[in-house]
Amino acid sequence: MSTPATRADCARCFGLCCVALPFERAGGFPDDKPAGLPCRFLAVDHACRVHDSLLDRGYRGCVAYECFGAGQQVSQVIFRGRSWRDEPSTAASMFAVFPVARALHEVLRHATEALGWDLPTDLARPLAALADEVADRVGLGPDLLLATDLPDVRRRAGDLFAAASAHVRGASSRGDRRLRARADLVGVDLRGVDARGADLRGALLVAADLRGARLGRADLLGADLRDADLRGADLRGALFLTAPQLASARTDATTGTSLEG
């Protein structure tokens, strides 16, 4: 079985994020939409009719969203190209499966990144086993996929990611006591801070001023970067940084990142 993609290919998806998931004003949308109801801008070919003006219309949540390849996996592999529009009987199951697949694809994305690091065998081997397990699971049928024990997968993945991160970061972590896992740094002035190698897993960096900050090898797994000012910041080599995190922050041409696209 080929390894599932961990990057969205919207042209091969049935617009699942635009119909299966709910929209909430508090989550970066201009209005509310219940799960299972298609967005009013979803075209019959499953494309977004206002993709080029989402920010202007207030759909920031759409811009910052990434399914990590789960959309096309559910559409083309799990449901074998059968659209919820063409076969309405698949809709309920497809919409239930999608968020589970998305969570597993996110785990696979992080595992794949970590496997690219220089890790000892006792870390690389269980990471590879986890990646194989998740890759196999997202190829299962709907009922088996829905039976996934997500809390268990996330717990095991979190432990492995933390160990891999600690190995890569080593003794490079800076001495700023504010820079710690799950820290509340909402709106804090962190301009020019040297956060290289810092453990910022799950940190709240909402609207933080990180202009000119150095974040190489900082662990940003689950860090909330909404409205964080990253202009001039250097995030090259940051660990577990994702496109949605960057999309939710303020960036410009001076923001350094290793992410593609």
- In the block, residue with structure tokens 């970590």: 114
Instruction: State CA 176 to chain mean position distance.
Output: 27
pLDDT (tens digit per residue) in 125-173: 999 999 999 999 999 999 999 999 999 999 999 999 999 999 999 865 5
Compute the distance between CA of residue 149 and CA of residue 155 in angstroms, rounded to an integer.
10
| Domain limits, CATH 2.160.20.80, in the chain | 173-261
pLDDT (tens digit per residue) in 74-129: 999 999 999 999 999 999 999 999 999 999 999 999 999 999 999 999 999 999 99
Copy the structure tokens of residue 257: 């990142």
Measure CA of the first residue to CA of the last residue in the chain; give whole Å.
Answer: 27
* This prediction's pTM: 0.92
Q: Which CATH number fits domain 173-261: 1.10.630.10, 3.30.70.20, 3.30.1300.10, 2.160.20.80?
A: 2.160.20.80
CB under 8 A, 24+ apart: contacts of 222-230 = 225/249, 226/64, 230/255
Amino acid sitting at position 67:
C
Helix (H, G, I), strand (E, B) or coil at 168: helix
